[in-house]
Amino acid sequence: MNLSKHLLYSMYALTLIAFLFETTNSDIWLQNLLFNASNQTWLIDKYEEPYRFIFYLLPKYSIILLALSLIAFYVIACRRKYSKHFQKRLLVVIFSLMLVPSVIGGLKATTNGACPAQLELYGGDVPYVKAFELMPESFESTKKYKCFPAGHASGGFALMSLFFLFYRPKYQCIAIAFAVSTGWIMGSYKMAIGDHFLSHTLTTMTLSWLIICLIAAVVFRTLHFPNSKSNAKNSQQEPINGY
């Protein structure tokens, strides 16, 4: 796997997403399908159960539990002297599960992007502007809006890092399919309750893969572990698509 190419492709994809949604009304068109204008309600109420538990709480805490389990497994792998290359693979996943949501969350706190449900178009009080547009001068608000990019889905998309945990292409493909499906299930739920636009989720997915590839590049190229002869031999036997 050529990580440099994937980093470049991710940046191209982010540029394309920005161009598409800045020059069209695709976000509004899709969001209108999820909003009932006659009674001012979304396809799913954000507090309605069991949807909130299934699509919000369950995946969120499952991903946290997975991260904690992998950290514990990494400690065991170190003590039992598993292959250093396998330890690096574990680190890619662990760092990704921690850093992807953190970076996305940090961006949310700075972009000042409003949720669909907060917009005047859908019964709120915030004028609609696109991601790279400024609010009208007539609009005054001391509130900081934190809806771009999509934070909840970032946990699901962080699971794309599981790709690096496996050696066989078959299982790598399964890992990617599982992660992307999980991310979109989580993201689609947030769209259905009026918390995010499609562009928010697409941006999160692409940015998540970019961050994961950066983490993998750092771990496999610059993090070095003390190698015994046996571990060095194992590392040579377990290349990661070019590493």
User: Do residues 144 and 107 lie in contact, with contact meaning Cβ atoms separated by under 8 Å?
Assistant: no
Pair of tokens at residue 7? 């980093």
Find tokens 């599960």 and name the residue.
97
29: pLDDT strictly greater than 50: yes
At 228, list the tokens: 């015994």
Q: What pLDDT shows up at residue 236?
A: 42
How far apart (Å, rounded) are the C-alpha atoms in residues 19 and 23? 6
Q: Does pLDDT of 242 surpass 80? A: no
CA angle, 91 then 225 then 1, to 5°: 55
- Strands 41-42 and 35-36 turn out to be antiparallel
pLDDT in tens, 36-76: 999 999 999 999 999 999 999 999 999 999 999 999 999 99
In Å, how far from its chain's centre is CA 124?
Answer: 27
Phi/psi-derived region of residue 81, left when phi > 0, alpha when psi is between -120 and 50, beta in every other case? left
Residue 226: is its pLDDT beyond 80? no
- pLDDT for 45 equals 96
> pLDDT over 90 for what percent of the chain?
76
Cβ contact 213:7 at 8 Å: yes
pLDDT of residue 231 exceeding 90, the answer is: no
Residue 186 burial (CB count, 10 A)? 25
For the chain, what is the mean pLDDT? 90
Residue 204 to residue 62: CA distance in whole angstroms: 19
Q: What is the DSSP code (8-state) at residue 126?
A: B
